[in-house]
């Protein structure tokens, strides 16, 4: 479906560049829009807008196309203070400060990953110029560099950064996937003004070379996860449910999270993604915010299934997979 002209004139250069498949130029144009616009005004660009723009920047650098401008632009944007425009980080008029802060951090992570790959001389395209070990090292270094920038109560596992780096250079790499499962997840509205709650489809993937972390697929990066306001203050319901799902899954399997009986499992990660249950397509479900702890039980059950399948595979083949 062709893109339609937007009612906000200041955003037209963004859509004009996008229609010409100049995704990086579209991002540069969006960065210059300071007075108007929200993320919902750029919805037609798709959930992978930033991934495609940053991936193209790396490719352009590889082909020496505007090669000097991309690193200089990244340096200018990432120089403190980091001040992205509203159209890249504020979803709608009902957005909350914690959600905007998370999206600002995710935007910065995308740009930092792009800069890291450029500095490392890593290319996109069919030529694979980075090993699995090198990708993990880049991710660990990046996590250490940005730790002090994390929003309160928010965490970014090494596995997520590694997936993002991989996605920027290999489009949709699935090299680490060992098992996958789909479960129903209740998404409950906490605000009478929000859309009604629904049952979403969640795809959970068991990944090798992990640390026992649970995190979203990079395409879900700008879905803010966390805080529900209660009478007692703010609490990180969704984020906590996400973190605790791993421990609960081990308990379901009869393993103690704090003992050596679960040590083998802690060398895996689990990546999740949501889909609309009313469609048969693989289009991601991308609500602006995820709050509440209703997903925790479904995640725990799905993770337990993944680990049980991995154990069963090892027993049937007689070979225990070494995920590290």
pLDDT digits (tens, 9 = 90+) for 64-96: 655 558 889 999 999 878 999 999 999 877 788
Place of tokens 């009604």: 196
d(CA 59, CA 48): 16
d(CA 111, CA 133): 22
Confidence of residue 1 (pLDDT cuts 50, 70, 90): very low
Neighbour order of strands in the sheet with 233-236: 233-236, 224-230, 289-291
Distance from the Cα of residue 219 to its chain's centroid:
5
At 251-308, the pLDDT tens digits run 998 887 677 667 888 889 999 999 987 777 778 888 888 877 778 899 999 999 999 9
Q: Residue 263 has what pLDDT?
A: 83
d(CA 44, CA 142): 31
At 221-244, the pLDDT tens digits run 998 887 555 544 455 588 888 888
Mean pLDDT of 21-48: 90
Lowest mean pLDDT among 138-142, 159-163, 223-227: 223-227
d(CA 64, CA 114): 16
Mean pLDDT of the chain, nearest integer: 82
- Concatenating the DSSP letter of every residue in 251-277 gives HHTT--TTSGGGTTGGG-EEEEEEE-T
For 124, left (φ over 0), alpha (ψ -120 to 50), or beta?
Answer: beta
Mean pLDDT of 1-17: 74
pLDDT over 70, % of the chain: 81
Neighbour order of strands in the sheet with 269-275: 177-187, 198-207, 269-275, 214-216
- 3-state DSSP: the chain helix, strand, coil percent, rounded to 5? 50, 15, 40
d(CA 210, CA 268): 4
d(CA 80, CA 229): 31
Structure tokens at 173: 């790499």
Q: Has residue 151 got a pLDDT over 70?
A: yes
Q: Residue 47 has what pLDDT?
A: 79
CATH number belonging to domain 176-324: 3.30.230
Using alpha carbons, select from 155, 66, 45, 153 the residue that is nearest to residue 109: 155
d(CA 171, CA 274): 19
The burial class, CB within 10 Å (0-12 / 13-18 / 19+), for 308 is middle
Strand ranges for 148-232 from DSSP E: 177-187, 198-207, 214-216, 224-230
Using alpha carbons, select from 162, 210, 207 the residue that is nearest to residue 181: 207
3-class secondary structure, 199: strand
Q: How far is CA 189 from CA 135, 184, 274, 278, in A?
A: 38, 16, 16, 18
Give domain limits for the chain: 176-324
Q: Give the range with max mean pLDDT: 22-36, 53-67, 257-271.
A: 22-36
Q: Residue 3 has what pLDDT?
A: 47
Instruction: Write out the H or E segment, with its range, that includes residue 289.
Output: strand 289-291
Confidence of residue 4 (pLDDT cuts 50, 70, 90): very low
d(CA 199, CA 184): 6
Q: At what angle do helices 12-19 and 23-31 cross, to 10 degrees?
A: 170
Structure tokens at 259: 């003992």
């Amino acid at each position: 479906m062709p893109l339609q002209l937007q009612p906000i004139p200041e955003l037209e250069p963004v859509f004009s560049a996008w229609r010409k498949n100049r995704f990086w130029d579209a991002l540069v144009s969006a960065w210059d829009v300071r007075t108007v616009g929200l993320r919902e005004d750029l919805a037609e660009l798709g959930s992978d807008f930033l991934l495609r723009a940053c991936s193209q920047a790396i490719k352009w650098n590889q082909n020496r196309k505007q090669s000097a401008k991309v690193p200089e632009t990244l340096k200018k944007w990432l120089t403190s203070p980091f001040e992205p425009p509203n159209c890249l980080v504020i979803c709608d008029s009902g957005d909350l400060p914690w959600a905007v802060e998370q999206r600002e951090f995710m935007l910065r992570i995308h740009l930092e990953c792009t800069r890291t790959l450029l500095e490392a001389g890593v290319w996109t395209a069919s030529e694979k110029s980075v090993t699995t070990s090198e990708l993990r090292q880049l991710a660990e270094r990046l996590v250490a560099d940005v730790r002090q920038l994390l929003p309160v109560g928010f965490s970014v596992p090494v596995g997520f950064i590694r997936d993002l780096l991989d996605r920027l250079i290999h489009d949709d790499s699935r090299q680490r996937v060992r098992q996958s499962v789909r479960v129903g997840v209740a998404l409950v509205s906490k605000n009478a003004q929000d859309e009604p709650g629904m049952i979403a489809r969640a795809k959970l993937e068991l990944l090798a070379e992990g640390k026992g972390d649970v995190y979203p697929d990079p395409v879900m990066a700008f879905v803010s996860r966390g805080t529900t306001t209660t009478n007692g203050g703010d609490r990180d319901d969704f984020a906590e449910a996400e973190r605790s799902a791993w421990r609960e899954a081990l308990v379901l399997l009869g393993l103690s999270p704090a003992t050596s009986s679960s040590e083998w499992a802690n060398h895996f990660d689990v990546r999740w993604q949501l889909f609309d249950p009313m469609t048969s397509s693989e289009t991601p479900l991308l609500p602006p915010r995820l709050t509440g702890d209703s997903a925790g039980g479904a995640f725990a059950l799905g993770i337990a299934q993944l680990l049980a399948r991995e154990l069963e595979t090892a027993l049937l083949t007689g070979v225990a997979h070494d995920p590290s």
